[in-house]
Chain A
Amino acid sequence: GDSVTQMEGPVTLSEEAFLTINCTYTATGYPSLFWYVQYPGEGLQLLLKATKADDKGSNKGFEATYRKETTSFHLEKGSVQVSDSAVYFCALKESAGGTSYGKLTFGQGTILTVHP
C-alpha cells in the first residue's frame, strides 16, 4: 500500500537558518503530494501541494519539488522564523481512478522549533 516517510524530529533551528524536512513516498500510479502544517492547539492547514512530477509547490517562503525519480517531496525554506514553529506533515493522495476516494496517507509528522 501507499506510505509516506518523513525525517525523524524534532528539528531545532535558530531564526534565519535554512530548513529542510525530508519526505519520501511509496505509491502506485501518480499521486498528488502535500505538505500540511499544524500550529500548537490547531488543526492542519494546507501549506503547499504538487500534482505531477517536477511541479514545485510554494507558499509563505516554503517550497517543495515533486521528484518522481527519487520519490521525494522535501520541504525547504531559506530563512525560518520563530512563527514557523509547528508540526509539519507530508502526505500523498492516490491518483484519480484509485479505489480510495480522496484518501490521504500521512507521514508521522516532524516537529520544528525555531529559537530567536
Chain B
Amino acid sequence: ETGVTQTPRHLVMGMTNKKSLKCEQHLGHNAMYWYKQSAKKPLELMFVYNFKEQTENNSVPSRFSPECPNSSHLFLHLHTLQPEDSALYLCASSQEGRTQYFGPGTRLTVL
C-alpha cells in the first residue's frame, strides 16, 4: 500500500539522541495512528489522531512525543530512548474509524 509513506525506513540512535519519525498519507484520510511492533509481542497501539486532535494515548512513556500538524502528516519525536524501545514503528491512516492502511514502518535500533 503506497498510500502511506514513512521515513526513515531504518534508524539507529544512541540513548541520548533526539530523532523524529515521519509519516505521510496520500489517501485523504482524517485519522492517523502510531503502532509499535516488538519481537514476539502483538502490535501495540501507541497514539491515535482524529482530525489532528489526539484521541488516544495508550500509556506511552513521555520519551515518545507525537505531533500531527495536519491530517496528512504525523510525526513521532524520540528523546532519551532505552534499548527496549528498539522495534518496528508503524504508521497507519483511516477515514474516520474505518479500515486502517499501514505504511512500511521504521526499524528503530537504540544502542
Contact = CB atoms under 8 A, between A and B. Distances in A.
Contacts of A36: 102
A103 interface: yes
A43 B100 contact: no
A99 B101 CA distance: 21
Contacts, number: 58
A102 B48 contact: yes
B61 interface: no
Q: Which 4 A-B pairs have the closest CB atoms?
A: A102-B97, A44-B102, A43-B104, A106-B43
B45 A42 contact: no
A34 B105 CA distance: 19
22 contacts: A36-B102, A42-B104, A43-B102, A43-B103, A43-B104, A43-B105, A44-B102, A46-B100, A49-B99, A96-B97, A100-B48, A101-B31, A101-B55, A101-B97, A102-B31, A102-B48, A102-B98, A102-B100, A103-B45, A104-B100, A108-B40, A109-B42
Contacts of A103: 45, 48, 56
Contact of B99 (A34, A100, A101, A108): A34
Interface residues on B, range: 20 to 34
Centre residue among A44, A96, A106, A109 by max chain B CB count within 10 A:
A44
Contacts of A46: 1, 99-101
Nearest to B41: A108
Interface of A: 4, 34, 36, 42-46, 49, 89, 93, 96, 100-104, 106-109
Contact of B1 (A4, A45, A104, A107): A45
A103 to B, nearest CB: 6
B90 A44 contact: yes
Nearest to A103: B45
Contacts of B6: 43
